[in-house]
Amino acid sequence: MISCRSIATRNYEIETPKLKEHSVIKIALISDLHSTIYKKDQTMLINMIKDIEPDLIIVSGDLYDSTVPATGAQLLLSGISGIAPVYYVTGNHEYWSGRVDEIREELESYSVIILSDAYVEVDVKNNTIILAGIEDPDKKLAEDSGYNQFYSMEKAFRELDLKVSYKILVAHRPEFVEYYERYSFDLVLSGHTHGGQIRFPPLINGLYARGQGLFPKYAGGMYKRKYFVHIVSRGLSLNYPRVPRIFNSPELVVIVLEAEDL
């Protein structure tokens, strides 16, 4: 269909020598839901995530919307609770909502782990994975006028250069990828672009994305940088912006990390 409202599953496979032999780790990436509800009580999206059987669920911001009621986000959080550990970073809309503290409390009530300019080391199938997350830069508009995302990253993540585990950065905005490259990450996960909203593949991958303008370079997909892989989700929102998604299905991203054959 030209106007897209059904969720597509987008799969990416990445091989790495940093996993133990024969290891396979599945990650479900949720981005830019903007509290959209799919089918009754969010059942469509919840069942799709269950069918993936992920080892980790990562939310790369804008789960909530600044104007739409939080019901869609709450239904999803309730439905995925217990499927796999859930890790989250803020997007700009969580700050625009004016209720970011309330959102954080709500996330924690669903046992979501918030990565706030911080990292955690987690064991997944006997592999140590480092998950790092940065706050959206609009924190400086709504919560801390002195906040500087790049300074906070340097303070929080420079020490990771000394660690050899597989390292994932979750950062809502893809347009700052050159800054993310200053660190020793293997994989960076972003959203924010909504796939450029309007696409005409293969000619135009996205028409417009906030922060990048017309014909955004990082509208959605897998981008192989010099030192890491950058995956940008096209997001799940049908609520924002209030423009139809043209040739641009809402997407649930699945990343499969596999041990590289040596």
pLDDT tens digits for range 89-142: 999 999 999 999 999 999 999 999 999 999 999 999 999 999 999 999 999 999
Q: How far apart are CA 160 and CA 195, in angstroms?
A: 31
The pLDDT value given to residue 5:
81
pLDDT category of residue 262 using cuts at 50, 70 and 90: low
Domain boundaries, the chain: 8-259
> Is residue 90 a contact partner of residue 136, using CB atoms and an 8 Å limit?
yes
Q: How far apart are CA 62 and CA 96, in angstroms?
A: 10
194-214: average pLDDT:
94
Q: How far apart are CA 90 and CA 137, in angstroms?
A: 9
* CATH class of segment(s) 8-259: alpha beta
pLDDT over 90 percentage in the chain: 94
